[in-house]
Amino acid sequence: MKAMKKLVKYIKPYLLFAILAPLFMCIEVVMDLLQPTIMQKMIDTGIANQDNEYVIKFGLAMLLCAIIGLIGGIGCIVFSAKAAVNFATDIRHDVFKKTGRFSNQNIDSFGTGKLITITTNDITTVQQAVIMILRIFVRGPLLFIGSVVIVWFTARELFPILLVAIPVLIAFIYFFSVKSGKLFSQVQKAMDKVNTKLQETLAGIRVIKAFDRQNYEKDHFKKVNNLLTNRLMTAEQFVLTLMPIMMFVVNLGIIAGLWLGVIKVNEGTLQVGVILAFLNYLNIMMNGLISSSHVLMQIARSFPSAERIVHTLETKIDITEPVQPRTIYDLKGEVEFRKVNFSYSKNGNNVLQDISFKAKAGQTIGIIGSTGSGKSTLVKLIPRLYNPDSGEILIDGVNVKDIPLENLRNSIGFVPQKATLFSGTIEENLRFGKELASERELDQATESAAASEFIMRLEDKFSHSLLQGATNLSGGQKQRLSMARAFIRKPSILVLDDSTSAIDALSEGLVQQALREDYADSTVFIISSKISSIIDADQILVMNDGEIEASGRHDELLRKSEVYRKIVATQTGREVEFG
């Protein structure tokens, strides 16, 4: 309910439509209520007296009513669709925009499957609820209230029956609405599970096939599918119980009316016609209530959806723009870590511990260490993908937290471990790095990343289309493009996170040469497990269990670091002796 209130602001720009829709509906309802009266007159007065002029006059009136009613009805449809669809589209837009600003941690806390459900299903549910409110919610109560009033004026003797029936009906509707809201939030949870399973199947289809686990996956899916079906069954069967109960209560009202009626008729205090009228209005009343309760149910069903939407919109983004931004206009690329600690779980299990080092502008920093020693985490802190728990990271002497995010990230060319590319052409993917890159720049960046050769072999060259996840490229090709995308920025700071793991040695040599020659001014961070990639670095950081075990140049480290010596030995196949 609260969540719904928070979404109300989205209807504001379309308030006119949202008001017009029910107003037009009122027109239709009034016309519909007028029809029987006009007809009654035509039959009772016109036909009975064979007064043709009267019949024609009222016939035309009826036609007019019908036309006005049509206008009312169509008006309501048009305006309600306008209000609801615009409302939902705007929400979807904001939700997506918000998730776009989510940090890594924010996304982890939701999960991809759930975020997708929120941006699609949940928003559609809310949209449907709004349409229902605007189209039917006016009609139901109007009919209900109208008939109660008419009973009060024309059949007051039987009014006490309503005093019992109405509270009972409303109590039932209330109970069912509340309970169904809860049941449907359970349904939604099961739905999320189905979605997650499905998504994993699509993403991991190769693994599933390779291990021939189709049957295992089918069984798994069967479980979540059954869970969803069972919960849906409970929820829907429960909700649909309301209808017969309401009908029964109203029918009891009819019986009570007849009973009370026969007694009063016997006493001579009531006309038979009044009983008939009462029965009719009871029916109209019930129709009004039923359609309102349907709408209520739909609204109740949309509460959990609305809640999730609001939750997404209100999630605090943990990486935000600085309060007092300090823009660095000519960023040189000096990077300094001062006693940086970091953990993902925030429960003391530090991934990085007491990291301090300084990289001068234009230097090349190699980072080496065993799997899970914190190499990737370290470089992810530079573009502020995460904030350190304690300590500071400075660029050109300014704390990264004080640099505007755009300024910061624009100065960094980052090649992540996983080469994520997007569906679109190769060129579009490269322009990710620099929107307005010239053709020359495109050529140069791909040349530096040793990607030109394979691109030129493609029929469409730079216009070659990539599928989602770039599944039509090999791992090495993806890595090359991912590098080229970063190179094209000519950034002050270049980060290569194990970006050549799937690239052959010849090409890697080319990349290294390019780095030396064309990116001499950039501060380059290279994470690699291969000594050969970092051997020339101005400074090598040897990482071990989240700490910098040793740092220095290659020959320096050979002298002073046991860990480093071991790595070198395993890779060159010979013992290195110094001393």
Partner 1 sequence: MSKATSQPNPNMLARARGPRGFGGPVEKAKDWKGTIHRIWKQMEKQKMALVFSIIFVILSTLLGLAGPYLIGIIIDEYIIPKDITGTIKFLGILTAIYVATALFTWLQTFMMVRVSLETIRNLRQDLFNKLHTLSLKFFDKRTHGDLMSRVTNDIDTLNNALSQSVIQILSSILMISGVAIAMFSLNWVLAIVTLLVIPLMILTTKKIITYSSSYFIKRQRDLGELNGVIEESISGSEVIRLFGKEEKINEQFSDINERLRRSAMAADTVSGFLGPVNNFINNLGLGLVIAIGAVLAVHNLATVGIIGAFVLYSRQFFRPINQLSNLINMFQSAIAGAERVFEIMDETPDIVDKENAIVVDSLKGDVEFSHVTFGYEDGQPILKNVHFSVKAGEKVALVGPTGSGKTTIINLLSRFYDVTAGELKVDGRNIQDYQISSLRKKIGVVLQDTFLFSGTIMENIRYGCLEATEEEVINAAKMASAHQFIQHLPEAYLTQITSGGENLSQGQRQLLAIARAILADSDILILDEATSSIDTNTEIEIQKGINKLTEGRTSFMIAHRLKTIENADRILVIHQGEIIESGTHQELLKKKGFYFDMYDSQFKLQEI
DSSP label at residue 44 = I
Which H helix or E strand runs over 551? strand 547-552
The smaller minimum CB distance to partner 1, of residues 2 and 266, is found at 266
The smaller minimum CB distance to partner 1, of residues 50 and 324, is found at 50
Q: How far is the CB of 82 from partner 1 (least distance, A)?
A: 7
The smaller minimum CB distance to partner 1, of residues 145 and 233, is found at 233
What is the largest distance, in Å, between two alpha-carbon atoms of the chain?
128
Q: How far is the CB of 2 from partner 1 (least distance, A)?
A: 26
The smaller minimum CB distance to partner 1, of residues 258 and 394, is found at 258
Alpha helices, DSSP H only, in 356-411?
375-380, 405-410
Q: How far is the CB of 498 from partner 1 (least distance, A)?
A: 6
Q: How far is the CB of 178 from partner 1 (least distance, A)?
A: 20
Judging by beta carbons within 10 Å of its beta carbon (0-12, 13-18, 19+), is residue 354 exposed, middle or buried? middle
The smaller minimum CB distance to partner 1, of residues 5 and 516, is found at 516
DSSP label at residue 420 = -
Q: How far is the CB of 116 from partner 1 (least distance, A)?
A: 5
Distances (CA, A) of 319 to 103, 387, 401: 6, 7, 9
DSSP label at residue 8 = G
Spacing of C-alpha 297 from chain mean position:
24
Which is nearest to 473 in space by CA: 450, 490, 454?
Answer: 454
The smaller minimum CB distance to partner 1, of residues 49 and 339, is found at 49
In contact, 300 and 177? CB cutoff 8 Å: yes
Q: How far is the CB of 146 from partner 1 (least distance, A)?
A: 17
String of DSSP letters for 83-95: HHHHHHHHHHHHH
Tell me phi and psi for residue 107, to 5 degrees: -65, -40
The smaller minimum CB distance to partner 1, of residues 135 and 401, is found at 135
The smaller minimum CB distance to partner 1, of residues 97 and 559, is found at 97
| Measured distance CA(217)–CA(550) in Å, rounded | 47
Contacts with 221 (C-beta within 8 Å, 6 or more apart), sequence order = 194, 197, 198, 201
The smaller minimum CB distance to partner 1, of residues 6 and 82, is found at 82
Q: How far is the CB of 335 from partner 1 (least distance, A)?
A: 16
Q: How far is the CB of 412 from partner 1 (least distance, A)?
A: 7
Distances (CA, A) of 117 to 87, 192, 194, 224, 303: 18, 7, 11, 16, 15
Describe the strand order of the beta sheet including 398-399 as a list of residue ranges.
352-359, 335-342, 390-395, 398-399
Structure tokens at 457: 């072999």
Residue 38: Cβ within 10 Å count: 15
Q: How far is the CB of 190 from partner 1 (least distance, A)?
A: 12
Q: Which residues, in sequence order, are bridge partners of residue 496?
A: 415, 526
The smaller minimum CB distance to partner 1, of residues 2 and 349, is found at 349
Q: How far is the CB of 177 from partner 1 (least distance, A)?
A: 18
Which is nearest to 566 in space by CA: 153, 557, 88?
Answer: 557
